[in-house]
Chain A
Amino acid sequence: MNSVHDQVTAVRKKNGSISYAKWGYIFLIPFFLVYVIFSFVPLISVFYNSFFENYMSGLKQVGPNFVGLENYATLFNNNLGKYFYNTLLIWVLGFIPQITISLLLASWFTSLRLRLRVTGLYKTIIYLPNLIMASAFALLFFVLFSDAGPVNDVLMHLGIIDQPYRFLSEVAGTRGLVIAMNFLLWFGNTTILLMAGIMGIDNSLIEAAEIDGAKSFQMFRLITMPLLKPILIYVMITSMIGGLQLFDVPQILTNGSGSPDRTSTTLIMLLNNHLYSKNYGLGGALSVILLIVSAVLSLLVYDSMTREQRMAQREKKRMKEGAGNE
């Protein structure tokens, strides 16, 4: 005991006071070191690469030659819009049912009026697909929905169709499968998030509305929805960023081809193609475009997450000033 005390006084004498600040820096070293080496340096090199013509033509290496913004121009002239449209369409068509069903389920699970039982089991089941290997899930759907697969088999047995529907040769079929899988993979996750959000809402508000005689739909529309808005925005934007990264499912389902006629090729599938063919210039330019889009989306997230906090701070400041004036 004494010796510790002596040590402490000794350190105090030397430094004035004990400072542990250096440990903060030391403990941050692994994170920042690894980030810089494995993410930041690559990011810079992606930027750098995007200004060069650099690819393999057969066995011959072309470049690197500085070409300025030409790679970006090439991308925009070569159907980048089409892939962007594919990605956006698949995301939007999956997100609409996802948010609808998730809101419905989340409000049921948390409803004090309904008091559903065995919700634990349902929650367990709907979250399950989220943990599944997307590539295996896609392969599974590929086999299930193939021309002679179980789905066509059952549909024909039931007399719903006469001939096998060729899901993977039709634009609607392929996109539909990607959308359905994306929906299945993610709606459970969204439901849990929204549930946590709804449970965070002050119960007294709901009770007050109940006493005022609000119907359950009114309660949902006038109390739950407005208070849930920050989380809804958060869910929407993170889902958008996830949608931008859509890859495993369409890649495995269509074997990387985005067939038919690249109508299910997403932006990351395009990036993956450039990486495989070692087309570093175009790959770099595409990465930079993706980075810019996701940066804009991230700013929106940040803004929506901190808006309330900022407003509360402003309010506090005003109150303080008000008190000072009195």
Chain B
Amino acid sequence: MNKNLSNAARLQLRLSRAVCYIILTLISVMCLISFYVLIINSTRSHPDILRGFSFLPGKSFFYNLKSLMANANLPVVRAIFNSLFVSGCTALVTTYFSALTAFAIHAYNFRFKRAAFAFILMIMMVPSQVTALGFVRLMGTFNLIDTFIPLIVPSVACPIVFFFMKQYMEASLPIAIVEAARMDGSSEFRTFNFIVLPIMKPAIAVQGIFSFVTAWNNYFVPSLILKSTENKTVPLLVAQLRNADFLKFDMGQVYMLITIAIVPIIIVYLLLSKYIIRGIAIGSVKE
């Protein structure tokens, strides 16, 4: 195609490409600069940080890590395990039950099917914060305050993941497969677990990652539910640090805690970004 262009047009194209690359690079720098500062500062000692900013890393990475781990007010390791547990369970529960709900709507014909579907779509847009007040009080009545159950079990009903699964099933789960399984004598539940779920693997992977990240980053609900120090998740420690008196704090520890809260997600994302970006595009836009 380029051959047909005149010299002037080719020059113009090259110029506009250059402008695009420059702007894209500037935007990327804008996205990355704060993370760069974060990682640099997490390797520098408190006095160094106070002395002014440097673009080069320091030598105190392990010192900061060790002193953060030794800080009894910030049980980081415990918080990471809590966060991993809650986020992992949430991801499992959410993907499994959303797929199950989507399968119910996709594979069966029953009287209230359309109504059920419309209802789930309707509640998709209700912000979880508006039910928070009643939710917290109810959890108080059930004696579930300061446990992980109120953070995990509600993710069974996740309309957005359901919607994604439903879209995916429409594209890649022919009913004939379900019927074939029936002919072979598989029960409906078995069909779902051993035939439908494996077909849904790509969708489950993408949504699993998203649910995990969302749960890992969640602050609003955990801050209302979790009370004791040993049950706190990572975002709660971050908030606790903001509450603390900053003048008394070792800034190396502060940057180190933020690094620990953010960097694991960055690493996982960089490894899986290709699938994640494709996943957002399929799930969010209807054809």
- Interface pair B116/A184, CB less than 8 Å apart: no
Closest A residue to B191 by CB, please name it.
A23
* A interface secondary structure, majority: helix
Known pairs A196-B285, A287-B132, A287-B133; A137 contacts B243 (CB<8 A): no
Closest B residue to A268 by CB, please name it.
B129
Distance to closest chain B CB from A152 (angstroms): 9
Q: Which of B23, B137, B274 makes the CB contact (< 8 A) with A45? A: B137
- Complex Cα distance A123/B279, Å? 13
- Interface pair B134/A44, CB less than 8 Å apart: yes
Q: Which of B133, B188, B219 makes the CB contact (< 8 A) with A283? A: B133
- Complex Cα distance A322/B137, Å? 59
Distance to closest chain B CB from A140 (angstroms): 5
* B interface secondary structure, majority: helix
| Chain B positions 27-47 with a Cβ under 8 Å from a chain A Cβ | 27-28, 30-32, 34, 37-38, 41
The 0/1 profile, CB within 8 Å of A marked 1, for residues 238-259 of chain B is: 1101110010000100110010
User: Does A176 have its Cβ within 8 Å of any Cβ on chain B?
Assistant: no
| Size of the chain A interface, CB-CB below 8 angstroms | 100
- Interface pair B129/A290, CB less than 8 Å apart: yes
The 0/1 profile, CB within 8 Å of A marked 1, for residues 4-18 of chain B is: 000000000100110
A residues less than 8 Å from B213 (CB atoms): 131
- Complex Cα distance A101/B133, Å? 37
The 0/1 profile, CB within 8 Å of A marked 1, for residues 276-287 of chain B is: 110011101111
- Complex Cα distance A268/B223, Å? 13
Distance to closest chain A CB from B53 (angstroms): 4
Closest B residue to A294 by CB, please name it.
B127
- Complex Cα distance A185/B128, Å? 20
User: Does A167 have its Cβ within 8 Å of any Cβ on chain B?
Assistant: no
- Interface pair A24/B104, CB less than 8 Å apart: yes
A residues less than 8 Å from B274 (CB atoms): 120
User: Does B101 have its Cβ within 8 Å of any Cβ on chain A?
Assistant: yes
- Complex Cα distance A108/B17, Å? 9
Interface stretch of the complex, out of B56-64, B68-76, B106-114, B198-206: B106-114
- Interface pair A125/B277, CB less than 8 Å apart: no
- Complex Cα distance A105/B27, Å? 10
**Residues on B close to A: CB < 8 A?**
13, 16-17, 20-21, 23-24, 27-28, 30-32, 34, 37-38, 41, 50, 52-53, 97, 100-101, 103-105, 107-113, 116, 120-138, 150, 153-154, 156-157, 162, 183-185, 188, 192, 213, 216-217, 219-220, 223-224, 234-235, 238-239, 241-243, 246, 251, 254-255, 258, 261-262, 265-266, 269-270, 273-274, 276-277, 280-282, 284-287
A134-B217, A244-B127, A294-B127 are known contacts; what are 10 more A-B pairs with Cβ within 8 Å?
A27-B103, A27-B188, A27-B192, A38-B150, A42-B133, A45-B137, A46-B131, A105-B24, A140-B38, A291-B130
